[in-house]
């Protein structure tokens, strides 16, 4: 019998372990080699088939798996896939999805734009419709049409891009009021501005200013960031706008903001910096020419010349030596810039978009300008296959530096045209030069002495829930709100001609407008053979409250203290409040037969606190029909119809 000592046992164990290790190492090596052989690296590039440019953010997936990546800024991608994988799928918003077999070497794929997704669906009141099945007059303006333009507001995005829509500005002031008319003026005494609806929320528009600075106002729509807009639809006729009842009389502008899409998180930057300048100026008289002309005019009516030299025998000269071109003094090369950072993404259940923008625009007249900072958050979540919820929220803060202008006797531009070149900008003692024979203000003083500012805080948002109760039957409920708070201030020192008699003047206007709206709609879609119809029933309740305080004072002891409490004379102080409510019920029926014969009818009943006591409710019906003659069999081979159909498909 062999007796194993501790030492012998240890040696025997070591030998045994070494033997096992020598056996295991080849097995591990084979396993590692086998694992490496099971995967491979795939590289390639995705481009836009129409332009050949690389497409960033395209989702590249190994078909049948969740293994995927997003393309880089130049459209390139690299991913690791199992050796058994045979196919890659490529998808991106606005392009047709495509699949390609996995091959050796780089894979190059060209995506074709999805013209159907981009152009054939339009937003209408309380829903969407196929563009070819609409019977009303609707104009669509997509973000691609204005995304490269330096615009500050929604109205500028419409200018020149929507037939039948006239956009004009009575002032070039940055952030100033802009007039929009859909098919002309529709009212003699009331407003002719259309109704604006942002993601289903009717919003406040127009000017809330109560401080007069000439024929110009503020623009509540400048609080909306154009970079957040995906599309704008203008409902122009009664058939399209009647679903909004009494408020749709001047047309309706539907604004849809950008939303997140499924795929990898994308971070993008969009920005520009530029300058603005006058393209043409008047050619004024020189200081000497202005004095000669005045002297000649006085001599012609028997008056003594105004501008003569101290020595009558000496050659006439400028009494101040001034030769001021006032246009050169008040105009400038003005900076304009915009910077937007957007982050979006999500999966099959949740999608998000977050953006932040800073916009800054100097006016071409010194002292004027507008800047705005805004943020946006859009969320969509599929609770289940039948229920979807979401949030749309935007907030902004804007500052307008205003000037007296536009039909104002103390306006910067008007005084620049009225005051002669013989007047200097500054006197020898540093005070502003003025013509002692005229009451016209020094244009530079008019631009720099008064301080006129408007600060506006704005929040617009809504939450919604959408549920499929039965096949083809959907219920949607939403709660939205619009909050606007404006603070205006003006201080004119006693060194300005405007306030010499009152020893300085100050104004303040504080105003807010809060509105909320709750809407509930039930939509039923059904097709029976060649017949298709959509029935919409809805209810809406809205309330708005506006309050304001206006104060005017004069008699400031010093120009250093600009608060109204420093004024010794309280000229005026008043407050006001306006409240209105709206309760509505509405319905719409859309029917088509084979996509050729189309009918739409809508009816809305509005109950408004603004209506008379005897007429609290009003009915607003509309109906329209269309015949898509190009779908008839006897015109299928018509060359003209074929060409028009091709143009419609390619946009």
The 10s digit of each residue's pLDDT in 482-500 is 999 999 999 999 999 999 9
Q: Strand locations in 23-126, DSSP E?
A: 39-48, 59-62, 68-70, 76-82, 87-91, 98-101, 107-111, 121-124
Q: Please give the pLDDT value at position 189.
A: 54
Q: Please give the pLDDT value at position 19.
A: 44
User: 477 φ, ψ to 5°?
Assistant: -130, 145
pTM over the 0.85 mark:
no
Q: Is the pLDDT of residue 60 over 80?
A: yes
Q: Please give the pLDDT value at position 133.
A: 86
Q: Note the pLDDT tens digit of each residue in 66-115.
A: 677 888 878 899 888 888 888 888 887 667 888 888 888 888 888 887 65
Q: Please give the pLDDT value at position 48.
A: 83
Write out the two tokens for 410: 């103390």
Q: Is the pLDDT of residue 393 over 90?
A: yes
Give the three-class secondary structure for 31: helix
What's the whole-number average pLDDT of the chain? 85
Q: Please give the pLDDT value at position 73.
A: 76
Q: Give dist(CA 645, CA 7) in Å, integer.
A: 95
% of the chain surpassing 70 pLDDT: 88
Q: Note the pLDDT tens digit of each residue in 372-391.
A: 999 999 999 999 989 999 99
Q: Give dist(CA 243, CA 434) in Å, integer.
A: 59
Residue 485: HSE in the Cβ half-sphere, 13 Å Cα cutoff: 6
Q: Which helix (H) or strand (E) holds 388?
A: strand 387-402
Query: Which is more confident, 610 or 520?
Result: 520
Q: Please give the pLDDT value at position 168.
A: 84
Over range 139-167, report the average pLDDT.
Answer: 87
Rg of the chain in Å (alpha carbons): 35
User: 410 φ, ψ to 5°?
Assistant: -105, 15
> Which of these, 75, 48, 70, 67, lies nearest to 59 by C-alpha position?
70
Q: Is the pLDDT of residue 432 over 50?
A: yes
Over range 301-319, report the average pLDDT.
Answer: 69
Q: Give dist(CA 326, CA 423) in Å, integer.
A: 10
Query: Which is more confident, 331 or 187?
Result: 331
Q: Using an 8 Å Cβ cutoff, are 626 and 93 in contact?
A: no
Q: Give dist(CA 280, CA 299) in Å, integer.
A: 34
Stretch among 107-111, 117-121, 411-415 having the lowest mean pLDDT: 117-121
Q: Note the pLDDT tens digit of each residue in 416-430.
A: 999 999 999 999 899
Could you tell me which residues are beta bridge partners of residue 395?
Answer: 375, 459
């Amino acid at each position: 019998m062999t007796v194993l000592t501790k030492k012998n046992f240890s040696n025997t164990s070591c030998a045994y372990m070494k033997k096992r290790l020598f056996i295991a190492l080849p097995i591990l090596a084979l396993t590692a080699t086998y694992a490496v052989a099971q995967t491979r690296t795939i590289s390639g590039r995705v481009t836009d088939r129409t332009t050949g440019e690389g497409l960033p953010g395209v989702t590249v997936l190994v078909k049948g798996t969740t293994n995927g990546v997003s393309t880089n800024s130049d459209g390139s991608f690299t991913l690791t896939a199992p050796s058994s994988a045979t196919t890659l799928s490529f998808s991106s918003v606005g392009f047709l999805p495509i699949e390609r077999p996995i091959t050796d070497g780089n894979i190059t794929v060209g995506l074709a734009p999805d013209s159907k997704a981009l152009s054939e669906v339009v937003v209408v009141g309380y829903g969407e419709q196929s563009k070819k099945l609409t019977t009303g007059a609707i104009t669509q303006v997509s973000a691609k049409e204005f995304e490269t333009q330096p615009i500050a507001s929604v109205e500028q995005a419409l200018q020149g891009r929507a037939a039948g829509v006239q956009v004009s500005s009575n002032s070039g002031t940055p952030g100033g009021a802009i007039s929009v008319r859909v098919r002309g003026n529709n009212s003699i005494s009331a407003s002719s501005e259309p109704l604006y609806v942002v993601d289903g929320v009717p919003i406040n528009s127009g000017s809330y200013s109560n401080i007069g600075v000439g024929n110009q106002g503020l623009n509540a729509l400048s609080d909306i960031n154009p970079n957040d807009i995906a599309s704008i639809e203008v409902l122009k006729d009664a058939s399209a706008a009647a679903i909004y009842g009494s408020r749709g009389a001047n047309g309706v502008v539907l604004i849809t903001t950008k939303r997140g899409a499924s795929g990898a998180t994308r971070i993008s930057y969009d920005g520009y910096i530029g300058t603005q300048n006058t393209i043409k100026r008047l050619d004024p008289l020189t200081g000497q020419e202005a004095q000669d002309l005045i002297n000649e005019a006085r001599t012609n009516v028997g008056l003594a010349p105004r501008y003569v030299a101290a020595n009558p025998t000496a050659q006439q000269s400028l009494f101040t030596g001034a030769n001021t071109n006032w246009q050169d003094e008040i105009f400038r090369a003005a900076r304009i810039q915009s910077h937007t950072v957007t982050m979006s993404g999500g999966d099959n259940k949740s999608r998000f978009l977050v953006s932040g923008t800073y916009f800054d625009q100097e006016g071409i007249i010194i002292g004027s300008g507008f800047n705005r900072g805004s943020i946006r958050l859009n969320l969509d979540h599929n609770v289940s296959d039948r229920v979807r919820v979401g949030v749309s929220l935007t907030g902004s803060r804007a500052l307008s530096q205003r000037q007296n202008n536009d039909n104002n006797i103390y306006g910067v531009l008007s005084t620049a045209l009225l005051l002669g070149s013989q007047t200097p900008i500054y006197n020898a003692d540093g005070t502003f030069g003025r013509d002692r024979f005229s009451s016209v203000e020094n244009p530079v003083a008019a631009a720099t002495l008064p301080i006129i500012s408007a600060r506006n805080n704005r929040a617009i948002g809504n939450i919604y829930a959408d549920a499929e109760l039965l096949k083809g039957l959907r219920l949607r409920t939403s709660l939205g709100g619009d909050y606007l708070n404006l603070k205006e201030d003006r201080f004119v020192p006693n060194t300005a001609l405007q306030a010499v008699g009152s020893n300085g003047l100050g104004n303040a206007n504080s105003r807010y407008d809060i509105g909320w709206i709750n809407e509930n709609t039930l939509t039923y879609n059904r097709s029976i053979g060649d017949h298709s119809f959509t029935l919409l029933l809805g209810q809406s309740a809205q309330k708005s409250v506006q309050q304001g305080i206006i104060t005017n004072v004069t008699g400031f002891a010093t120009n250093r203290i600009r608060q109204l409490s420093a004024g010794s004379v309280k000229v005026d102080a008043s407050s006001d409040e306006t409240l209105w409510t709206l309760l509505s019920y509405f319905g719409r029926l859309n029917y088509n037969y084979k996509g050729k014969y189309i009918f739409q009818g809508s009816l809305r009943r509005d109950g408004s606190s603004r209506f008379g006591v005897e007429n609290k409710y009003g009915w607003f019906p509309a109906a329209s029909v269309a015949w898509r003659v190009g779908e008839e069999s006897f015109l299928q081979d018509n060359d003209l119809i074929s060409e028009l159909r091709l143009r419609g498909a390619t946009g």
